[in-house]
Structure 1
């Protein structure tokens, strides 16, 4: 049974025709016998010839996207398959505002990766590989990196931003607190050297951070050093996971140990600066961790006692609008936010007092961590942060 413990002391597209099993039995079709083979080749290379374009404005349609990207590819010198348009097909998901753009060749699709961030109808769009992209297979079909001689300046881009996020030295940075800004994250990563490419992954609908990013360093020799120094560091209520995106965790080589130690010392100041919960902008919602055990939330009576205990104690800091304590699902699975307590106040003043008063307090032998929580996510019932 629960006992109160809080106290102030403690791509669609046309499907290629299926080739006949016995093509020699159809001599009347003559040269058309080769079409199924060509269609098979197109299907096999499609994953490497398509690019994902995200963040499209509502006005975008298949024709406007095809015309624009064909024009841009020609302008930067990205067309390598001869005269004509580089784009052969476009599929748009209007609801989610993204498109798959199919190029004529694998090389042209790789060149298109340099267009990440280009302005389309007044909005910057993301250009990425599709989810079915197979890097090892694509490497046998053609170049996987944009041509370094593309004239990106004619379309207002600089080389190296998107193309630099491909390859074995790409780093995955997970466990980022949602309130960290792009500039804060870049500053942290650039402690080890300048970045060739950086991408903070955001929700396409809300524009909010999803809590993870990818980067590549200009000096690839610091890749393992940065991973070793950053992985496991506490940031607010999160713990960073930093590793090579395609190869899992890689341990630094012995000769890098002294460099790694220096890097860890170098990062200490920024670690304290960024880890402080007060670094988040003040909101009306406070999130508490290390407060409740999921097992305590299963029994209805215990749950009601916990909610009332929280409401009584936390109302001392300001006028409470709501107390949300996510519970495990009926099948036993953990729903988003289980183990956390969310406190909504009428104003940021009350929330600030609560964060300051509750952060660091001992609760059931654990030290409570209190951070501000985005109001828009709380209003949407998103407790995953």
Structure 2
């Protein structure tokens, strides 16, 4: 019989893990697997301590690290659900000289996790201690993510924030820049703390002039279709698939990169682009 503690750990594991990528360039050298695991675990434990995220008590917040070399991402398992939620605030932290993404794993169950502990990072974390800005880019996943396109290239983060925050406080904000040049690419993403204002902000801001540009403001994920079995038993096109429509190519590209090859329910996810015309016409067969 499995001990109670082991059963509890297994049941909460999906909510105690975070996924991070890409690997730093140092991982492409001859550094061995054990060293990579040790470096990753030590880094995240130290960072969690620095921001005040060690809510489970003294000691290392990280209990395990699993590295997938083929997919170039790693799982970091925390001691508690609360510490894993706090770790989500570390998105875009600099690790070995480069920023890394921090996300929930594909088996994360938000509904179940809500009963296990906090689902969002503590607002009291000292993110400035590790060079991060609260709400800079975290919290940008989900159906309430907004795409803001057509921003003038001279637009600053402060100017964009002021425009968006006229409708409410932001939970997450990302002014997209070219990683090689550092130049602003003319668009951003945001999520409001009060998701009820999402559609209001989109309707009010979409189409307005900003300098010599016209803004395009809309939900990044605009539609979801999940074909269901027919009650009569007739064949259904696209059964077993999930179709997601995004309002911009960047959003769809990021989603494809983030989902393809991940594990969900024991199966590997295959994410591919689908013709928009077929989606709009309700054709889900190919």
Normalising by structure 2, we get a TM-score of 0.57
Would you say the 8 A contact 1:58–1:94 is kept in 2?
no
Paired residue secondary structure (1:69): helix
Change (3 A) 1:219 1:142: closer
Please state which structure has a larger fraction of its residues in helix. 1
Question: What CA distance in whole angstroms lies between the structure 2 residues aligned with 1:240 and 1:44?
Answer: 43
| Residue number among 108, 111, 123 corresponding to 2:83 in the alignment | 108
Confirm or deny that 1:40 pairs with 2:7. yes
Change (3 A) 1:68 1:188: closer
| Residue number among 16, 21, 24 corresponding to 1:54 in the alignment | 21
Partner of 1:78: 53
State the Cα distance separating 1:195 from its structure 2 match. Answer: 4.0
Query: Which whole-Å deviations, capped at 9, do the CAs of 1:193-230 have from their partners, x for residues lacking one?
Result: 274422478999xx9x9x99642236766433113345
Name which one, 1 or 2, has greater alpha-carbon Rg: 1
Change (3 A) 1:192 1:75: closer
Paired residue secondary structure (1:113): helix
Would you say the 8 A contact 1:172–1:213 is kept in 2?
no
Question: What CA distance in whole angstroms lies between the structure 1 residues aligned with 2:21 and 2:114?
Answer: 24
Partner of 1:242: 218
| Residue number among 166, 170, 191 corresponding to 2:163 in the alignment | 191
Partner of 2:245: none
Structure 1 residues without counterparts, runs of 5 or longer = 1-32, 234-238, 249-333, 339-385
Partner of 2:144: 171
CA RMSD of aligned residues (A): 4.7
Question: What CA distance in whole angstroms lies between the structure 1 residues aligned with 2:162 and 2:119?
Answer: 26
Structure 2 residues without counterparts, runs of 5 or longer = 28-35, 209-214, 225-272, 278-286
- 1:6-45 aligned at under 5 Å gives the runs 33=1, 35=3, 37-45=4-12
Partner of 1:130: 105
Query: Which whole-Å deviations, capped at 9, do the CAs of 1:153-187 have from their partners, x for residues lacking one?
Result: 22122222345447x8x73235969x997968996
Partner of 1:158: 133
Q: Name the stretch that deviates more: 69-78 or 128-137.
A: 128-137
Question: What CA distance in whole angstroms lies between the structure 1 residues aligned with 2:6 and 2:114?
Answer: 20
Paired residue secondary structure (2:145): strand
Question: What CA distance in whole angstroms lies between the structure 1 residues aligned with 2:63 and 2:158?
Answer: 37
Would you say the 8 A contact 1:145–1:163 is kept in 2?
no
Q: Name the stretch that deviates more: 43-52 or 157-166.
A: 157-166
Would you say the 8 A contact 1:198–1:214 is kept in 2?
yes
